């Protein structure tokens, strides 16, 4: 108590006014939330939010993981000399996957694979593939020629060149692709609800059907938060995992 | 210069006036599943044949559509008595017969500026169904059996549409009356219409169905008996904004004529034409109206 009043006294008049304003705003928000039934609604929906957020993360995690597992090797493969003449055509095919509207991809997945979790994973996987393949491909192609020459001159094998020169030098660009894929994936996953795949889309679409704003927000806000948090996390990974010498973010430090 | 501008403005004003008087079109609404899309299409063709200018706006969720009608954005659509009674008017349907339900809804909605015309004999009630010949749901005949199965902790996945788990005349009330709970992980909400496919392809054990859907028979589903009489009556009726009806009294006759031609079997047959035979909705609507001599 003594410290609290001391802090209060110590605070400049302007800051105290500011703090009172913030307190008043928080109080008003609380009162409004109570009056509009927001708190009750969120409590009612809380088990749903938790369950569906988990499901959403599973959808995103598995489809994105599979896209990495397929996309990076495919991207690397396309840069091999014997594949070069086919690589643009292969990229065009992968590209098509992303030109088709999201909902149509899911509808196609449904007509081939039925409904539920795995068809949704398939649709999201197709959607995440392109940024990963293209960035891997472009990243490796962009490795400076003199580095490659030096590596050959040192007598490195193909495999050594790939692991020690090409991949480390293109890692930053590959990560950028993973980030794009993840952002697209999190934002597209709500549509999985339409083919019975679950996820936070359930709250969004039910909210629209029943015209319940809180329910829509209970789906939309966690989706947005997930996108921001996951992007932040992968940003951190990119920062710390990409070697210092080839990381534009850390070059000047 | 001013002269031209004046002329232009008055020409524009005349144009706007004529357009606004001529565009007193009737907006026909519809929800987002086969029967509703079909009814919206039939109503559109029927009213056009009767000389009305019609805009169609279908594919909405129940609550959104109802709001649109109250706001005047939709003039007419086909509603179910039970939906209006329980979901919109928040009244209990307990012990009400079909006629009493219509009467009560007509009275309640009149105060909101909506007129319920004569109803059809089609009762599109909710029902829960299982697939014949599946061992895990073999012994289930009634909703009481189902409640008991859940209470014994059996893991049965229930495919439902988006609205059902959150409606008082849906899962909320059903769980109360039959005293059971479907655990969150066993509830599988999806787009309306997919529930049939989910049950048929063994992706679910129980599915929410509409009694007038043709796929119940086509896919060999068994409807669980509502032994405690929970689900209200869902008679399919044309509902018009009273204001619109007063301005266009000619709306009543064709709509009631169409309603008189509809019953459970007819709706099942028409819905099956769309969902099972995959015939275009526009075509099914036109064929039916022509065969009944309505257009």
Name which of A47, A116, A209 is nearest B203 (Cβ-Cβ): A116
Contacts 24+ apart (CB under 8 A), B286-289: B286/B45, B288/B42, B289/B42, B289/B45, B289/B46, B289/B49, B289/B258
How many Å is the maximal CA-CA distance in chain B?
A: 87
Q: What is the ipTM of this complex?
A: 0.71
In contact, B194 and A196? CB cutoff 8 Å: yes
What is the tens place of the pLDDT at every residue in B192-234? 888 998 899 888 999 999 999 999 999 999 999 999 989 999 9
In contact, A45 and A203? CB cutoff 8 Å: yes
- C-alpha–C-alpha distance, residues A94 and A98, integer Å: 7
What is the tens place of the pLDDT at every residue in B120-129? 999 999 999 9
Residues from chain B contacting residue A208 (CB–CB below 8 Å): 61, 64
Interchain proximity B190–A47, CB inside 8 Å: no
Looking at the complex, does the CB of residue A246 fall below 8 Å from at least one CB of chain B?
A: no
In contact, A166 and A106? CB cutoff 8 Å: no
The structure tokens listed for A200 are: 């936070």
What is the tens place of the pLDDT at every residue in B171-190? 999 999 999 999 988 998 88
Interchain proximity A206–B162, CB inside 8 Å: yes
- C-alpha–C-alpha distance, residues B30 and B39, integer Å: 7
Interchain proximity A211–B32, CB inside 8 Å: no
Q: Is the pLDDT of residue B20 over 60?
A: no
Interchain proximity A194–B191, CB inside 8 Å: yes
In 3D space, the residue among B124, B119, B98, B120 whose CA is nearest the CA of residue B211 turns out to be B124
Write the burial class of residue A22 (CB in 10 Å: 0-12 exposed, 13-18 middle, 19+ buried).
Answer: exposed
- C-alpha–C-alpha distance, residues B154 and B147, integer Å: 10
What is the pTM assigned to this prediction? 0.76
Looking at the complex, does the CB of residue A41 fall below 8 Å from at least one CB of chain B?
A: no
The structure tokens listed for A59 are: 């959808």
Between the two ends of chain A, the Cα-to-Cα distance in Å is: 45
Distance from the Cα of A201 to chain B's closest Cα (Å) equals: 10
Name which of A196, A210, A211 is nearest B194 (Cβ-Cβ): A196
Distance from the Cα of B278 to chain A's closest Cα (Å) equals: 14
In 3D space, the residue among B45, B40, B56 whose CA is nearest the CA of residue B274 turns out to be B40
Interchain proximity B194–A202, CB inside 8 Å: no
DSSP result, A161-211: IIIIIIHHHHHHHHHHHHHHHHHHHHHHGGGGGGGT--STHHHHHHHHHHT
Looking at the complex, does the CB of residue A47 fall below 8 Å from at least one CB of chain B?
A: yes
- C-alpha–C-alpha distance, residues B128 and B182, integer Å: 13
Name which of A47, A202, A215 is nearest B189 (Cβ-Cβ): A202
What is the tens place of the pLDDT at every residue in B94-111? 888 899 999 999 999 999
Interchain proximity B190–A51, CB inside 8 Å: no
| Size of the A and B interface in Cβ pairs below 8 Å | 66
Least trusted range by pLDDT, from A135-139, B10-14, B45-49, B63-67:
B10-14
């Amino acid at each position: 108590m003594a410290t609290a009043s001391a802090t209060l006294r110590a605070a400049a008049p302007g800051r105290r006014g500011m703090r009172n304003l913030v307190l008043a705003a928080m109080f008003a928000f609380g009162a409004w939330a109570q009056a509009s039934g927001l708190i009750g609604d969120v409590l009612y929906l809380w088990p749903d939010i938790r369950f569906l957020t988990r499901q959403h993360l599973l959808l995103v995690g598995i489809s994105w993981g599979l896209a990495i597992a397929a996309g990076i090797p495919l991207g690397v493969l396309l840069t091999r000399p014997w594949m070069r003449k086919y690589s643009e055509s292969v990229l065009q095919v992968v590209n098509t996957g992303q030109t088709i509207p999201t909902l149509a991809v899911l509808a196609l997945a449904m007509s081939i694979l039925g409904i539920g979790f795995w068809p949704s994973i398939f649709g999201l996987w197709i959607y995440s593939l392109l940024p990963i393949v293209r960035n891997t491909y472009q990243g490796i192609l962009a490795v400076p020629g003199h580095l490659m020459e030096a590596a050959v001159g040192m007598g490195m094998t193909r495999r050594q060149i790939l692991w020690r020169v090409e991949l480390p030098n293109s890692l930053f660009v590959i990560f950028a692709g993973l980030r794009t894929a993840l952002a697209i994936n999190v934002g597209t996953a709500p549509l999985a609800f339409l083919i019975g795949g679950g996820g936070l889309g359930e709250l969004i679409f039910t909210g629209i059907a029943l015209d319940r704003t809180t329910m829509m927000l209970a789906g939309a806000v966690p989706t947005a938060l997930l996108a921001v948090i996951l992007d932040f996390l992968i940003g951190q990974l990119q920062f710390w995992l990409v070697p210092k010498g080839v990381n534009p973010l850390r070059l000047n430090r | 210069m001013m002269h031209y501008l004046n002329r232009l403005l008055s020409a524009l004003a005349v144009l706007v006036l004529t357009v606004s008087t001529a565009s007193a079109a009737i907006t026909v609404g519809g929800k987002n599943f086969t029967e509703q899309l079909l009814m919206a299409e039939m109503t559109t063709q029927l009213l056009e044949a009767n000389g009305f200018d019609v805009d169609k706006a279908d594919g909405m969720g129940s609550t959104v559509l109802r709001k649109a009608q109250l706001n005047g954005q939709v003039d007419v659509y086909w509603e179910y008595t039970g939906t209006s009674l329980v979901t919109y008017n928040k009244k209990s349907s307990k012990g009400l017969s079909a006629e009493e339900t219509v009467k009560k809804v007509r009275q309640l909605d009149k105060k909101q500026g909506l007129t319920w015309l004569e109803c059809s004999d089609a009762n599109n009630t909710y029902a829960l169904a299982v697939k014949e010949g599946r061992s895990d749901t073999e012994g289930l005949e009634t909703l009481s059996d189902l409640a008991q199965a859940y209470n014994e902790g059996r893991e049965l996945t229930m495919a439902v549409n988006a609205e059902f788990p959150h409606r008082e005349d849906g899962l909320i009330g059903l769980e109360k009356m039959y005293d059971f709970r479907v655990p969150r992980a066993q509830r599988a909400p999806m787009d309306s219409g997919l529930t049939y496919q989910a049950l048929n392809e063994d992706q679910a054990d129980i599915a929410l169905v509409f009694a007038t859907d043709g796929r119940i028979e086509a896919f060999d589903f068994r409807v669980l008996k509502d032994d405690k009489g929970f689900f209200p009556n869902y008679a399919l009726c044309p509902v018009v904004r009273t204001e619109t009806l007063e301005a266009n009294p000619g709306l009543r006759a064709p709509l009631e004529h169409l309603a008189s031609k509809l019953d459970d079997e007819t709706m099942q047959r028409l819905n099956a034409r769309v969902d099972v035979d995959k015939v275009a909705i526009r075509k099914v609507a036109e064929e039916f109206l022509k065969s009944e001599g309505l257009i």
